[in-house]
Each structure stands twice: as structure tokens, then as C-alpha cells.
Amino acid sequence: VYTYYDYLNFPNDEFVEIIDGKIFAMSPAPSRIHQELIMEISAELRNYIKSNKGQCKVYPAPFDVVLINENENENDSKNIVQPDISVICDKNKLNDKGCFGSPDMIVKIVSKFNPGNDYVKKLYLYEKYKVKEYWIVNPMKKKHFSLYFN
């Protein structure tokens, strides 16, 4: 079982996520369309927040999100992900290494390499850790889904 402590000791050129203590290698570099969508959606979210005088921050990947249970030490977390876009409104969750706790919103651009992770594994994970809103954008099907968790 791998933790955030282990993650910090991986080689810098090894891009992985850890979900439920298991390592998942990141896919090859995203497509041009994938990257364009991240830029456009990030910009729209940031502009919306700014125009409404909001305090939330928008972070595109790569950006570490360490999901932690209540009273769990961050080094013991078994869930470290790099969402395509993270929106965090609680500045206490942020430090120079990333977000420690659940973002308010996560946007995932579906990859052709492993869409099941986005629609099932990460959906379950983000619901479990009380991410308030999860957008799944599928450029191959030209569809998106917005899911809201209580």
C-alpha cells in the first residue's frame, strides 16, 4: 500500500497517481485538443470567479491533490491525484505542494487511454471525499457531465 510519503520519494520523472494505495501510471502526454480544453475551461472558470469577486483559485494539471480523511496525517493519505482542473475555495487547503483536502470542483477531460477511471474509479473517489462538483468532459463524444455531491 502506497501513501503520500512514498509518492514524495518517487523519481521526479515518474508521473503517477495513487488511488486506494495502488499506483496508477499517468498516460502519455495529452492530445492537443485535451490541452486546449484545459486552457479554455480553466480560463472561463477563472474569469467567472474573478468577475463575481470570488476567492476560489483555479489550478490546471499538473497539480497534486492529496485527498485526506478527517484526522488523517497527509503523509498517510492513500489517494493522490492530478485532476486536469481543480478549483479550491478554502485557502487553508493550499500550500506550495498542492491541495490537501477535497477541492470544491474537479474537471476531468476524458482520455482515450483509460476512460473507465474517469467515469467509475475517480467518480467514486471524489464522491467519497466530498468533492462538491465533478465535471467530466469527453472530447471524443463531444459531451460533458456535471455531477454534484452533497
Predicted TM-score (pTM) above 0.95: no
Report the pLDDT averaged over residues 56-85. Answer: 94
Here the cell at position 42 is 480553466
Distance CA 4, CA 64 (A): 10
Q: What is the CATH number of the domain that holds 91?
A: 3.90.1570.10
Residue 60 has pLDDT above 70, yes or no: yes
pLDDT tens digits, 2-25: 999 999 998 876 788 999 999 988
- pLDDT number for residue 130: 94
* β-bridge pairing 57-60 and 94-95: unpaired
**Does the pLDDT value for residue 56 go beyond 80?**
yes
* Residue 106 clears pLDDT 90, i.e. is over it: yes
All three cell numbers of 13, joined, read 520523472
Number of domains, the chain:
1
Look up the domain containing 32 and give its range.
Answer: 4-148
